[in-house]
Amino acid sequence: MSDSSIAQVPIAQTPAAFLMNYVKGRRGSFLTLAALVVAAGSCAVAVQYGMKLIVDAMSGTDRQAADVWHPLILFLTLIGVESILWRLSGWLGCRTIIASCVDMRVDLFKHLTGHSMKYFRQHLSGALGNRITSTSQASGSILGTLTWNIVPPCVDFLGAVVVLLTIDWRMAAALSGFVALVAGVIFTFGSRGRVLHQEFGEQASRVGGEIVDAVSNIWVVQAFSARHRETERLQKELGVEARAQRRSWMYLEKARVLHDICLWIMAGTMLTWALRSWQAGNVTSGDVVVISALAFRILHGSRDLALALVGTAQQFGVIAEMLNVVAQPHDQPDLPELSDKPIARGTIELRNVSYAYADGRQVFNNLNLTIPAGQKVGIVGPSGAGKSTLLSLLQRVDDVGGGCILIDGERINEMSRDSLRQAIGVVPQDISLFRRSVLENIRYGRPDATKEEVIACARKTHCDEFIRALKHGYKTIVGERGASLSGGQRQRIGIARALLKNAPILLLDEATSALDSQSEALINSALIDLMKDRTVVAAAHRLSTLSRYDRIVVLADGHVIEDGTLDELRNAGGMFSQLWALQTIEGDCPPVPEIATEAAAVQIPEVPSLQDAIGEDELRPRAA
């Protein structure tokens, strides 16, 4: 099943609606869970009434004739049923809440991966991952708190009202009014602290992102002796987080103090009233026992309720902060009416394409270019001419600002991104590998490929020999981003991954510019197989690699200024000729080799990159 065939669950934009989506998704389980908790809470209140019956039975003058056994049996039965109901609710709650949190993380991850690369350039990857994890934890905490810390005190209160109605309706009315007043005060007070809780959630996510960022760049930290600086930087961020956490925590403590005062007044009033009624002969000893038991039960239960409500407000702040960042709408959404039609040939056409960076700097201005299916085209130009940007636009990593790009006659902005990218193989200059086995990394290009197909691609790209030399062969787990492999080995695995994908279009972003001569020769040989029978567009920094291309396009000032074969452009006296001459002076452009066989390709000498040695202004064609 392709990614595009998986329905995306819409992400709600408010914490309450976000949680409710997952409660509705398991409506039956949550309703059953609620019923079990309500029944268990009702039994807990009924136990207090059973104690009243025992005390009233003991209050008679004839102790031998007193019927205390039936109330005792009822009392013990209620305790047993209550225990069973709580254990059942715990079992069901464990399964239901954990499963819902798994669904949340899957949906959030799917939504997150649908954002554009521009979005990921604006946010720390570690902070984004922490937000998803924190949201799952906060949601689980809210659902668990609601089930076992909010519903039971509410059931206790309602049960107490019912019991008090059998004793004195005025007590029931007073209890109801007092609890409503306390709940209103605590809720209002707690709601005002939501901003503090959200600030703490934001800073906690930021600190998590800073730690991940430093760890992922540990080589730079150690190479520049920056451990002390990074520690000081983290300490400063942790100080900001600690202050935010203290403000959030102290607000909770103030809410607890306010609640304790209110409940102390309530319990004292109810007990004083009950004792005066007993002295007046209006209530029995059992009534006083049940009133005192319920008063203290409500006292403790409402304390738990108040703390749960305020703590829940803090968790809602965490979810709200995540929704503001992760769940924001995609800036390049795939609409339902977009085409999933597969691309077969690979003819590429750019019509009046314009594009500017976010800062307003123009890259392309009415760029026109046609690449027939099966043609291999090298893209050349000074730094900043838009070579890599062109490759990004072809993949819809970014969308064009004007004009359109067509593949096989269909506009790519009318295709779903997944169907477009299924037809494109990419070999970047810096290959990213997952911390998974070598087999999984190569198979990432085509998950349904057999092991034999993976090995065949590895052999064609000169990977098989070094892979078998690894400790566990194809099952060897590579380090983060492939850190346990050399640059040349990572590059060859990336080429094998693209070869296995077998897409009709291949994009190359100078896959050999940062490698040594031996690795470059092997990779150039591997690229020959990869480029066969495909439309190839390559951003070329080393001009010596262009001999394998059918055509070369030179970009400058947002336009195509030269277009032709290698020999034609070398002899034309334009910008390409100047670039070739400069790289020849530096020894970067030897005579063009004939690449008729794989063996000949392996002989390509090392060509150092000079992309930073020449300025854009110096490379522009001078006016006659």
CATH number at residue 406: 3.40.50.300
Residue 455, CA distances (Å) to 432, 447, 460, 478 in order: 20, 14, 9, 17
d(CA 273, CA 178): 14
Whether residues 254 and 300 fall in one domain: yes
- The CATH number for 220's domain is 1.20.1560.10
Total domains present in the chain = 2
Within a domain: 447: no
120 pLDDT above the threshold of 90 = no
Whether residues 256 and 373 fall in one domain: no
d(CA 400, CA 523): 32
Whether residues 208 and 302 fall in one domain: yes
Could you tell me whether strands 402-407 and 348-356 are parallel, antiparallel, or unpaired per DSSP bridges?
Answer: antiparallel
Whether residues 87 and 172 fall in one domain: yes
Domain of 99 in residue numbering reads as 10-325
Within a domain: 439: no
Measured in whole angstroms, the distance separating CA 544 from the mean position of its chain's CA atoms is 42
Per cent of the chain over pLDDT 70 is 81
pLDDT digits (tens, 9 = 90+) for 281-311: 777 777 777 777 777 777 667 667 766 776 7
Closest to 85 in 3D by CA, of 40, 42, 145: 40
Whether residues 318 and 367 fall in one domain: no
Residue 185, CA distances (Å) to 155, 182, 191, 194, 282 in order: 20, 5, 10, 15, 33
Amino acid (1-letter code) at residue 330: H
d(CA 363, CA 570): 25
Higher pLDDT: 57 or 338? It is 57
Q: How far apart are the first and last CA of the chain?
A: 59
User: For the CA atoms of the chain, what is the radius of gyration?
Assistant: 35
Chosen domain end from 293, 325, 357: 325
d(CA 360, CA 578): 29
pLDDT digits (tens, 9 = 90+) for 385-422: 888 888 888 888 888 888 888 888 888 888 877 788 88
d(CA 623, CA 32): 81
Q: Calculate ∠ Cα 191-131-114, nearest 5°.
A: 120
Whether residues 81 and 206 fall in one domain: yes
Whether residues 69 and 119 fall in one domain: yes
Chosen domain end from 262, 292, 325: 325
Within a domain: 364: yes
Q: Where are the alpha helices (DSSP H) in 515-624?
A: 517-531, 566-570, 575-585, 598-602, 616-619
Whether residues 97 and 180 fall in one domain: yes
Instruction: Say if CB 283 and CB 167 are below 8 A apart.
Output: yes
Within a domain: 460: no
Whether residues 95 and 220 fall in one domain: yes
339 band by pLDDT with thresholds 50, 70 and 90:
low
Higher pLDDT: 541 or 139? It is 139
Whether residues 84 and 124 fall in one domain: yes
590 band by pLDDT with thresholds 50, 70 and 90:
low
Whether residues 195 and 297 fall in one domain: yes
Q: What is the mean pLDDT of the chain?
A: 77
Instruction: Say if CB 614 and CB 578 are below 8 A apart.
Output: no
Amino acid (1-letter code) at residue 274: A
Any idea what DSSP says for residue 538? E
Whether residues 370 and 307 fall in one domain: no
State residue 227's pLDDT score. 79
Chosen domain end from 292, 325, 358: 325
Measured in whole angstroms, the distance separating CA 168 from the mean position of its chain's CA atoms is 56
Within a domain: 486: no
Within a domain: 479: no
88 pLDDT above the threshold of 90 = yes
Within a domain: 437: no
Within a domain: 576: yes
Find residue 424's DSSP bridge partners: 505
Closest to 364 in 3D by CA, of 388, 397, 395: 388
